Amino acid sequence: MNIKNDQTVKFWTDVWLSAGKLIDLAGEIGTQKLGIPRNARICDVWNLRASRDQHIQQLVEVIRQFPLSLTVNVPDGVMWRNGPDDYRDKFIASGTWQQIRQSRDEVQWSTIVWFSQRVPRFSFITWLALCDRLSTGHRMHKWGQPQVCILCGESDETRDHLYFACPYTYTLWLKVVGNLFGAEPDPDWGITISRLIT
Ligand SMILES: [Zn+2]
The 10s digit of each residue's pLDDT in 131-144 is: 999 999 999 888 88
Ligand 1 center to 138 CA (angstroms)? 12
Percentage of the chain surpassing pLDDT 90?
Answer: 55
Ligand 1 center to 125 CA (angstroms)? 19
The 10s digit of each residue's pLDDT in 21-76 is: 999 999 999 999 999 999 998 878 878 888 889 999 999 999 888 887 666 777 77
When the pLDDT of each residue in the chain is averaged and rounded to a whole number, the result is 87
Ligand 1 center to 107 CA (angstroms)? 29
Neighbours of ion ligand 1 (CB under 5 A): 149, 151-152, 154, 166
Average of per-residue pLDDT across 112-136:
95
Ligand 1 center to 135 CA (angstroms)? 15
Ligand 1 center to 118 CA (angstroms)? 28
Residues found in the chain: 198
- State the pLDDT at residue 25: 93
What is the SS3 string spanning 80-117? Answer: EEEECCEEECCCCHHHHHHHHCCCCCCCCCHHHHCCCC
- State the pLDDT at residue 134: 94
Ligand 1 center to 154 CA (angstroms)? 5
- State the pLDDT at residue 116: 93
Ligand 1 center to 163 CA (angstroms)? 9
The CA radius of gyration of the chain, in Å to the nearest whole number, is 28
Ligand 1 center to 159 CA (angstroms)? 10
pLDDT band at 4 (very low <50, low <70, confident <90, very high): very low
> What sign does the dihedral 30-31-32-35 (CA atoms) show?
positive
List of residues 6+ apart from 2 with CB closer than 8 A: 43, 46, 76, 77, 78, 79
Ligand 1 center to 126 CA (angstroms)? 19
50-72 per-residue burial string, b: 16 or more CB within 10 A, e: under 16: ebebeebeebbeebeeeeeeeee
Ligand 1 center to 109 CA (angstroms)? 25
The 10s digit of each residue's pLDDT in 145-190 is: 878 999 999 999 999 999 889 999 999 988 888 777 677 778 899 9
The whole model's pTM is what?
0.58
- What is d(CA 7, CA 44) in angstroms, rounded to the nearest whole number? 8
The 10s digit of each residue's pLDDT in 68-95 is: 766 677 777 788 989 888 889 999 999 9
- State the pLDDT at residue 71: 65
Q: Is 190 helix (H, G, I), strand (E, B) or coil?
A: helix
